[in-house]
Structure 1
Amino acid sequence: MAIRRTTKVDSGFSMSSMTDIVFLLLIFFLVTSTLVNPNALKLLLPKSTGQVAAKATVSVSIKDWRESGKDYPITGDYYSYHINGNEQPVSLAAAEELLVEELSGEDDPTFSIYADRSVPVEKVVEVMNIAKRNHWKVIMATSPE
């Protein structure tokens, strides 16, 4: 009795390892997609390397009056909101109404925020929330260094 040895190679392809890889990739992309914050505000930050001609936008200025020692009765604190460089300060609610008037009818509504360096971030975010509620774009204006 001779023992026969077969040298037949298994030509079948096992899909189990391929499905494991696809499953792991699926889990990876699901986990990483939840890390992206869908509620983040989109900012159009100005570039400092070159000058680009931009369309005229509506501007919101936030001024800090703490150095002057007076507060504005309209806003009730040391910060005032000004639309399009107007010297008359307005409250945040009135600023939203004025922005709605200014930006209604535009196909790509955009406004710029000019804030003093000493203005707290929460005051800037309050103005950004106005843009988020109304689905507008925001440009955060900065000065070159």
Structure 2
Amino acid sequence: MGLKKNTRVSAEFNMSSLTDIIFLLLIFFMLTSSMVIPNALNLRLPGKSNTQSVPQTKPYEVKISKDGKYFVNNKRVSIITLEKGLKKLKKRRNNGKVSIIISPNSNTANENVVAVMDIAYRLGIDAIMTKPK
């Protein structure tokens, strides 16, 4: 009479080693994520001030069409002419405060909008972005 061995595999799993690995990964990601600095546009946000506002002249409106054409106060200009015109405007106002309103079309490429913002930044002009039309 042969007796059969009862070989059963245990269905239990030891979770302590798995939790150790999970906590080590959590600590690793927490430490490395704080060291990463995102590379984004440096935007100057308006702050609160106690000074009284001085009445300003009407800002120029720069419209950008979906095919990359630039319009300043409804007159078509090239990007080079736009930069030269803004330089002259800045000089006429004795390097005072100059503002432009950027109004892109909803299908305008981002590079066209960033080009205008870059010109405004280089010349020290306040650029106000509006909702695309």
TM-score where L is the length of structure 1 = 0.50
Verify: 1:107 aligned to 2:80, yes or no. no
State the Cα distance separating 1:98 from its structure 2 match. 1.3
SS at match of 2:65: strand
Verify: 1:85 aligned to 2:74, yes or no. yes
The residue number in structure 2 matching 1:62 is 64
The residue number in structure 2 matching 1:13 is none
Percent identical pairs in the alignment equals 24
Q: 1:125 to 1:38 in 2, by over 3 A?
A: closer
The answer (yes or no) to whether the contact 1:61–1:83 under 8 Å persists in 2 is yes
Equivalent of residue 42 in structure 1, options 41, 44, 55: 44
- How many equivalent pairs are there? 90
Q: Deviations over 1:81-103 (max 9, x none)?
A: 011222xx221111111122233
Q: Deviations over 1:11-30 (max 9, x none)?
A: xxxxxxxxxxxxxxxxxxxx
The answer (yes or no) to whether the contact 1:62–1:80 under 8 Å persists in 2 is yes
Structure 1 residue runs without a partner (length 5+): 1-30, 45-52, 65-77
CA RMSD of aligned residues (A): 3.1
Q: Deviations over 1:102-125 (max 9, x none)?
A: 333152111110110000111100
Equivalent of residue 131 in structure 1, options 106, 109, 120: 120
The answer (yes or no) to whether the contact 1:110–1:136 under 8 Å persists in 2 is yes
The residue number in structure 2 matching 1:117 is 106
Between the aligned partners of 1:80 and 1:121, the Cα distance in structure 2 is 13
Between the aligned partners of 1:113 and 1:90, the Cα distance in structure 2 is 14
The answer (yes or no) to whether the contact 2:120–2:126 under 8 Å persists in 1 is yes
